[in-house]
Amino acid sequence: MAGHSKWANIKHRKGAMDAKRGKIFTRLIKEIMVAARLGGGDIDGNPRLRTAVAAAKAENMPKDNIERAIKKGTGELEGVAYEEITYEGYGPGGVAVMVECMTDNRVRTVADVRFMFSKAGGNLGESNCVSWMFDRKGQILVEREATSEDELMEAALEAGAEDVVVEESTFQVLTEPDDFAAVSEALQAKGIAFLEASIAMIPKNTVEVGDEQTARQLMKLLDSLEDNDDVQHVHANFDIPDAVMEAIS
């Protein structure tokens, strides 16, 4: 099972996704603002904005919030100008980690990220040191109780999805980034609820972390990164066996 989807499943069972709803909205608003600033406020003419709005709708963000974020991005309303930065490094167990940030203070952000890596026994690396280990994909996670495999497979592939991966407790729908909005909208139109929907860096290969202590250190690093206000997304190529993941969760 891919590390990112397993991690999302564990967080959901712990209730962390609901507890962090406000933080999720903040990150989505930042992405919408930046997309609108860089490519304009026309959703049909701005693929990145369309993708960002689709992700926001997948999280049930109110329409008014989305429209305000677009206007802040285009300058119609006052808003903060965020800078995009991606940091790469290695966490406990040699796991490759990518940290996508949006910040109004680069110095603060890099200091925070470097400290979190160091505290966990990892280290930041140079640009592109691990990005080659990942493919950028649209990822939609659906709980298996939410729909049947046949219904999801038919709807997803018909809308342009690349693949539907059947996992222990979820279905993982993968798309090209440009097809993410169309696929997520098609599944929503079918009434299929999402556990998570985003543009993610999917690892080409994974590193198994079978030691409980190392796995616990890794989870602490990933959680601390996700809790940082400047961090948008965290991607890692770990694969922790189910028994170990359950023991540390």
Judge whether 195 and 9 are in contact, CB under 8 Å.
yes
Q: What are the structural domains of the chain?
A: 3-74 (1.10.10.200), 83-132+205-248 (3.30.70.980), 134-203 (3.30.70.980)
Token pair 């796995």 in the structure block, residue: 215
- Whole-angstrom CA distances from 134 to 74, 79, 122 are 31, 32, 19
pLDDT at 5: 57
pLDDT at 1: 35
pTM for the predicted model, two decimal places: 0.84
Query: Rounded to an integer, what distance in angstroms lies between the CA atom of residue 195 and that of residue 188?
Result: 12
pLDDT at 168: 79
pLDDT at 2: 44
- Report residues of the chain scoring pLDDT below 70: 1-21
Amino acid at 19: A
Residue 75: Cβ within 10 Å count: 12
Judge whether 64 and 70 are in contact, CB under 8 Å.
no
Judge whether 202 and 59 are in contact, CB under 8 Å.
no
Query: Rounded to an integer, what distance in angstroms lies between the CA atom of residue 224 and that of residue 218?
Result: 10
Question: Tell me: the pLDDT tens digits for 79-99?
Answer: 888 999 999 999 999 999 999
Query: Rounded to an integer, what distance in angstroms lies between the CA atom of residue 155 and that of residue 218?
Result: 36
- Whole-angstrom CA distances from 86 to 130, 203, 208 are 11, 16, 24
DSSP for residue 194: P
Question: Tell me: the pLDDT tens digits for 178-191?
Answer: 999 999 999 999 99
pLDDT at 9: 58
